[in-house]
Each structure stands twice: as C-alpha cells, then as structure tokens.
Amino acid sequence: MDILDLIDKGGPAMWPLLALSILALSVIFERLWFWLRILTQEKEIVDRVLDAAGENWVTARDIARQATNQPIGRFLFAPLSLPKTDTEIFRLALEASAEDELAGMRRGEKLLEAVIALAPLLGLLGTVLGLIQALRSIRIGDLGTASTAGVTTGIGESLISTASGLIVAIVSLVFYRLFQSFLVNQVKVFRKAGNDMELLYRQFPPDFSDNPLEKALPRGRDRDSSPEKFSAPRKRGKNKFSEVPPPPPESDSHSSDPEE
C-alpha cells in the first residue's frame, strides 16, 4: 500500500494531515540542525571568553565578537560592546541580550503546538466522515448478510485518518518536548555564564580606553561644559517701579478746604 493509496482510502481529511506533517517535519529538521550547532560549540565559546576575561577584557571582547554567529557569543558580546559601563549597566545588558536570544530559540514552537492540537482533530473528522459515508450504504434488510462486508471494510478504512492524525501529533509532541528541554538547559547555561562574567567584571574592572567606540564619542562639548556655566535662574526681586502705588482716597464732596 503506497502513500497515495493510503491517502485515498483515508478520506479527504488526509490531505490536510499531509500538509501538517510536512510543516512539522520541516520545523523539526530545522530545529535539530539549530540545536546541534549550539550544543556542540557553546561550551568552548564560554570557556574561551571567560578565560580571556580574567586576563584581558579586550581579548575577551574580540573572542566574543568572532562568535556572534552563535547565541551564546551574542549574549557575551552585548555588555562588552558598550563603550563605557558600570556593574548595573553590565548586568542589564546581559539580561536584555539573554531575553532576546531565548526568544529566538523558541522559533517554531507555535507551529508544532498547532500541529499537535489539529492533527488528532482532523483524523477524528476524517473517521466521522468515513463512517457517515459507510453507514449510508447499509440497508436494514441486508444486515447479517454478505453484502455488509463492504460496509465493515469502509469503516476500517475510515479509521486510517484517525491513526494518521495520532501519529503526526505524537511525533510532533516528542520533538516539541525535546526542544523544550534544550531551551530549559540554555537558560541554565546563560545564567551561569552571565554570573561568572559579572563576577569577573566586579573583580577586575575593564579599561576600554582604547575602545574605538569610546574614541568616536564627541567629547569636546562634554569637556567644555561644566556645572558652573549652567547657573540656575536667579529669583527675581521686587521691582520698585513695578509696584503701582495705591490710588489716593477719594475726597468727600461735602468737605471743604479749611483755607478757603
């Protein structure tokens, strides 16, 4: 029984199942290649960067820059690429880079989740449609006779779609859990590498005075400006010309000048 014959006997639901299986296999092979490259190289990259950081931070930065094709290399290079940092900025750069890299490692998970959820339902739908078609051809007078043998054969063939949907969902679920375990392990690796690098940074603060990024910063304006040149606005005093004297009291029309 070849694949086309199996799809034909399984009913119309087999074609969506075939499409889902192709998508799932493409994601599985791509993720397997991705994790294979990461797991075989990241330990060496971390050891080289940390060993160099204990002696020379510039060398460690160059090693991390060469490994930016790997997530762990980009993670370690993120704080070292800054022109000037303190311990707080160093830690924040590590955390931000780790979030970006871990989010990229989750690529393809949503597609596998969709396949795991849809494949059994499509298989069940194909079985229900096959049962409906098989039961339509049953006549009450033919029950128990040899003419119902084709009906039982049709019911058996309609279960092919259910079995196919379960196979696609099970295979996708196995690799989905495998990739999840790889991701959890990467969280531990990133956390340990980041903590070790931060400890080295606190013990041996780097001197990036020869960093081209720092040299490119426009410092002329910063050196010329000083706090003394920017004085706060003085509080305005009362202007004697701005105060309008109160109007004289109105004289009583009935009062007369004593000199008159």
Say how far apart CA 99 and CA 93 lie, in whole Å.
10
Q: Supply the pLDDT for residue 236.
A: 45
Domain residue spans of the chain = 3-203
Q: Quick one: which of 90, 82, 83 has its CA closest to 200? A: 90
Q: pLDDT tens across 116-147, in order?
A: 999 999 999 988 888 887 777 666 555 555 45
Q: Supply the pLDDT for residue 137.
A: 67
Q: Quick one: which of 115, 242, 252 has its CA closest to 176? A: 115
Q: pLDDT tens across 66-114, in order?
A: 999 999 999 999 998 887 768 888 889 999 999 999 999 999 999 999 9
Q: Supply the pLDDT for residue 3.
A: 73
| Mean pLDDT of all residues in 11-36 | 92
What is the reported pTM? 0.70
Q: Supply the pLDDT for residue 76.
A: 92
pLDDT band, very low/low/confident/very high, at 223 (cuts 50, 70, 90): very low
Q: Supply the pLDDT for residue 131.
A: 82
Q: Supply the pLDDT for residue 129.
A: 84
DSSP assignment of 26-44: HHHHHHHHHHHHHHHHHHH
Reported as half-sphere exposure (CB side, CA atoms, 13 A), residue 41 has a value of: 15
Q: pLDDT tens across 164-211, in order?
A: 999 999 999 999 999 999 999 999 999 999 999 999 888 887 665 554
Say how far apart CA 14 and CA 6 lie, in whole Å.
9
Per cent of the chain over pLDDT 70 is: 70
Q: Supply the pLDDT for residue 141.
A: 55
Q: Quick one: which of 75, 108, 98, 90 has its CA closest to 187? A: 98
More confident call, 223 vs 16: 16
How distant, in Å, are the alpha carbons of 244, 245, 251, 255, 257 from that of 248? 12, 9, 9, 16, 17
Q: Supply the pLDDT for residue 220.
A: 39
pLDDT band, very low/low/confident/very high, at 214 (cuts 50, 70, 90): very low
Decide if pLDDT at 19 tops 80.
yes
**What residue has token string 């880079």?**
97
> What backbone torsions phi and psi does residue 75 show, to the nearest 5 degrees?
-65, -45
Q: Supply the pLDDT for residue 1.
A: 53
Q: Supply the pLDDT for residue 25.
A: 95
